[in-house]
């Protein structure tokens, strides 16, 4: 603490790159002479330029908060520069509101904040070419790698080695298989300059609307990203402070105002990235002697692990004999996990009389289903593939597709006594609402041809539907050893509705 003759006690706070002095109505921010892997302020001229750039940038976001700059002189020589801000009421900071549980006030603030961020993104021009390279798969891979290098010395001593490697593997897998998705995000104009450091502590919920402070100014390329990456920072912080529900509401509001659509897996990936960045910052703070940084490091590291876990792009093969309930299980999995459900029965029916149950006809149906699945997987959309999967060659083709797009593949075989399957098939035929054209005779023939499926997990369907789907979900999404995101949280964010037109040769319609 220091004392000011005019205002009394002045509070001092510190971050990893700045010092802040608080009076009752003003905040003075001074950059620290530090060097990290992403910025260097050891030179006074660099700090002065950065402070002035920070003021110019942030007054675009909150002009009534950023009041000016103040030169710091020593013996009439300019040695530093402070950013001067209006002090906002501490009890209106979003972090404190969340911790205090302000109810509807929080939802109003989240809605208005999402609207403000969406407007900021809408006003920013789309970036293409070299300006947008920071959002490419290669550039994002480099950013992750920088995080891993910073955290590596803490593995074993603080960070769990298995978790560290799991995060590294899953982040790499997502990027490896989603290069088309990331390239399309650039092409569609979703890469723009945003805030860059959207955290709950940087949002103040005032009576006349939210104020955003501390936009990232020292590296312009750090502010340029996919707009989803920008808002994901705040979603990550909301999840950390208040749980997944608050984050989901923010993303719902943002999608409504921005009219921006994305697969849920991409949102999880960016939330994980933002958490991993904060883990890196905590590691830096730990090296600077901050005793609270150890807990923060573990918290952020685990949050990154959770979101990469539930955000995996999944391909689930659900097979079994005719009448065993594979379509019921497939539909339940797709609904719960937010995946796209593809059925060979519907593909065959849409193709009309040109496709039958001959070997060649069935090969064509599987080829079309896998083609549609591939177009979805490379764009971050998980799929449930509903078929008998009676022949190993089709399963091998699906596994090859999974390896091509670096997805998590799970194989399930629905099992039911033949007599019970026949009963269900007869009931289904009587109602006439199912696209399958299989008869009991055909079902018996297919059962006789069914090749052993050792890679599949058996799922008994001779019980209530919800219990069967529960078991299938537990196989697909392994329970975490500690509380965290579960399969119910897969649809953490609003995902884009995806409609497939299962006609041979047609493209996937995304709308």
Q: Would 494 be classed as within a structural domain?
A: no
Residue 187 pLDDT grade (very low, low, confident, very high; cuts 50, 70, 90): very high
Q: Would 157 be classed as within a structural domain?
A: yes
**Which tops the pLDDT comparison, 39 or 404?**
404
Least confident of 40-49, 134-143, 147-156, 175-184: 40-49
Question: Given the DSSP bridges, would you call strands 26-31 and 77-86 parallel, antiparallel or unpaired?
Answer: antiparallel
Of 296, 278, 66, 54, the residue nearest 158 (C-alpha): 296
- Last residue within a domain, chosen from 277, 293, 310: 310
Q: Where are the alpha helices (DSSP H) in 288-417?
A: 293-310, 326-337, 344-350, 359-377, 392-404
Hey, is 448 helix, strand or coil? helix
Please report the pLDDT score of residue 430 as a whole number.
Answer: 67
Number of domains in the chain: 3
Q: Which sign, positive or negative, has the C-alpha torsion 232, 238, 244, 249?
A: negative
- Last residue within a domain, chosen from 285, 310, 335: 310
Q: Would 500 be classed as within a structural domain?
A: no
**Who contacts 128 (Cβ-Cβ below 8 Å, separation ≥6)?**
186, 187, 189, 191
| Torsion, CA 413, CA 418, CA 424, CA 427, rounded to 10 | 150
Please report the pLDDT score of residue 480 as a whole number.
Answer: 62
Residue 154 pLDDT grade (very low, low, confident, very high; cuts 50, 70, 90): very high
Based on the domain organization, do 52 and 68 belong to the same domain?
Answer: yes
Based on the domain organization, do 222 and 97 belong to the same domain?
Answer: yes
Q: What is the pLDDT of residues 229-276, one digit of tens each?
A: 999 999 999 999 998 889 989 988 998 998 888 999 999 999 999 999
Q: Would 441 be classed as within a structural domain?
A: yes
pTM as predicted? 0.86
Q: 33 with 17: CB under 8 angstroms?
A: no
- Last residue within a domain, chosen from 31, 54, 86: 86
327: exposed, middle or buried (Cβ count in 10 Å: 0-12, 13-18, 19+): buried
Q: Would 326 be classed as within a structural domain?
A: yes
Hey, is 192 helix, strand or coil? strand
**Which tops the pLDDT comparison, 501 or 309?**
309
Based on the domain organization, do 300 and 325 belong to the same domain?
Answer: no
Q: 509 with 499: CB under 8 angstroms?
A: yes
Based on the domain organization, do 61 and 114 belong to the same domain?
Answer: no
Please report the pLDDT score of residue 489 as a whole number.
Answer: 54
Based on the domain organization, do 9 and 135 belong to the same domain?
Answer: no
Mutual angle of helices 227-242 and 293-310, in 10-degree steps:
120
Q: What is the pLDDT of residues 394-423, one digit of tens each?
A: 999 999 999 999 999 999 999 988 888 778
298 pLDDT higher than 70: yes
Residue 490 pLDDT grade (very low, low, confident, very high; cuts 50, 70, 90): low
Tokens representing residue 88 in the block: 């906002």
Q: What is the pLDDT of residues 306-333, one digit of tens each?
A: 999 989 999 999 999 888 889 999 999 9
- The CATH number assigned to the domain holding 20 equals 3.30.200
Please report the pLDDT score of residue 221 as a whole number.
Answer: 78
Least confident of 127-141, 209-223, 399-413: 209-223
Please report the pLDDT score of residue 88 as a whole number.
Answer: 95
Please report the pLDDT score of residue 217 as a whole number.
Answer: 84
Based on the domain organization, do 353 and 438 belong to the same domain?
Answer: yes
Residue 498 pLDDT grade (very low, low, confident, very high; cuts 50, 70, 90): very low
Please report the pLDDT score of residue 286 as a whole number.
Answer: 94
**Who contacts 466 (Cβ-Cβ below 8 Å, separation ≥6)?**
332
Tokens representing residue 170 in the block: 């899953």
- The CATH number assigned to the domain holding 215 equals 3.90.1200.10
Percent of the chain predicted with pLDDT > 90: 64
Q: Would 108 be classed as within a structural domain?
A: yes
Based on the domain organization, do 80 and 116 belong to the same domain?
Answer: no
Based on the domain organization, do 277 and 421 belong to the same domain?
Answer: no
Tokens representing residue 127 in the block: 């970036």
- Give CA–CA dist 497/337, Å, rounded: 13
Q: Would 506 be classed as within a structural domain?
A: no
493 pLDDT higher than 70: no
Q: 325 with 388: CB under 8 angstroms?
A: no
Based on the domain organization, do 67 and 114 belong to the same domain?
Answer: no
In DSSP notation, 460-499 reads: E-SS-HHHHHHHHHHHHSPPPSSS---GGGTT-SPPPP-B
**Which tops the pLDDT comparison, 487 or 303?**
303
Tokens representing residue 298 in the block: 């573990």
- Give CA–CA dist 481/227, Å, rounded: 33
17 pLDDT higher than 70: yes
Based on the domain organization, do 161 and 299 belong to the same domain?
Answer: yes
Based on the domain organization, do 283 and 407 belong to the same domain?
Answer: no
Based on the domain organization, do 136 and 248 belong to the same domain?
Answer: yes
**Which tops the pLDDT comparison, 426 or 27?**
27
Q: Which domain holds residue 58?
A: 2-86
> Average pLDDT over the chain, rounded to whole?
87
Q: What is the pLDDT of residues 355-373, one digit of tens each?
A: 566 778 889 999 999 999 9
**Which tops the pLDDT comparison, 166 or 291?**
166
CA-angle at 289, arms to 284 and 290, nearest 5°? 80
203 pLDDT higher than 50: yes
- The CATH number assigned to the domain holding 359 equals 3.40.50.300
């Amino acid at each position: 603490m220091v004392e000011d003759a005019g205002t009394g006690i002045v509070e001092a706070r510190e971050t990893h790159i700045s010092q802040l002095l608080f009076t009752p109505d003003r905040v003075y921010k001074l950059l620290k002479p530090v060097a990290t892997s992403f910025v260097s302020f050891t030179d006074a001229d660099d700090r002065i330029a950065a402070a002035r750039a920070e003021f110019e940038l942030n007054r675009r976001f909150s002009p009534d908060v950023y009041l000016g700059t103040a030169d710091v002189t020593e013996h009439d020589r300019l040695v530093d520069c402070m950013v001067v801000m209006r002090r906002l009421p501490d009890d209106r900071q979003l972090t404190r509101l969340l911790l205090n549980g302000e109810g509807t006030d929080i939802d109003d603030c989240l809605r208005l904040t999402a609207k403000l961020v969406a407007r900021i993104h809408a006003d920013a021009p789309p970036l293409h070419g070299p300006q947008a390279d920071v959002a490419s798969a290669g550039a994002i891979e480099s950013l992750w790698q920088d995080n891993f290098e910073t955290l590596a010395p803490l593995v074993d001593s603080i960070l769990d080695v298995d978790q560290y490697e799991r995060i590294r593997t899953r982040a790499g897998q997502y990027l490896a298989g989603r290069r088309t998705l990331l390239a399309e995000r650039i092409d569609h104009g979703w890469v723009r300059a945003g805030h860059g450091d959207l955290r709950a502590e940087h949002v103040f919920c005032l009576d006349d609307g939210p104020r955003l402070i501390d936009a990232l100014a020292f590296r312009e390329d750090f502010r340029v990203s996919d707009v989803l990456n920008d808002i994901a920072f705040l979603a990550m912080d909301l999840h950390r402070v208040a749980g997944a529900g608050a984050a989901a509401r923010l993303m719902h509001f943002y999608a409504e105002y921005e009219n921006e659509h994305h697969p849920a897996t991409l949102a999880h990936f960016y939330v994980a990235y933002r958490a991993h960045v904060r883990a890196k910052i905590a590691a830096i703070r730990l090296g600077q002697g901050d005793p609270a940084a150890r807990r923060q490091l573990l918290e952020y590291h685990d949050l990154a692990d959770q979101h990469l876990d539930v955000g995996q792009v999944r391909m689930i093969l659900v097979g079994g004999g005719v009448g065993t309930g594979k379509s019921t299980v497939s539909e339940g999995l797709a609904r719960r996990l937010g995946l796209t459900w593809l059925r060979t029965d519907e593909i065959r029916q849409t193709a009309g009389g040109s496709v039958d149950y001959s070997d060649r006809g069935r090969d064509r149906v599987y080829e079309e289903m896998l083609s549609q699945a591939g177009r979805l997987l490379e764009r971050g959309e998980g799929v449930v593939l509903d078929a008998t999967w009676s022949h190993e060659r089709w399963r091998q083709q699906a596994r090859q597709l999974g390896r091509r797009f670096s997805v998590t593949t799970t194989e399930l075989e629905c099992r039911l006594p033949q007599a019970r399957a026949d009963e269900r098939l007869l009931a289904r035929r009587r109602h006439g609402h199912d696209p399958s054209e299989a008869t009991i005779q055909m079902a018996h023939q297919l059962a006789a041809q069914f090749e052993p499926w050792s890679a599949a997990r058996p799922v008994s369907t001779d019980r209530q539907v919800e219990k069967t789907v529960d078991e299938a979900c537990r196989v697909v999404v392994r329970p975490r050893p500690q509380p965290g995101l579960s399969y119910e949280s897969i649809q953490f964010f609003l995902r884009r509705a995806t409609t497939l037109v299962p006609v041979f040769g047609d493209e996937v319609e995304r709308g």
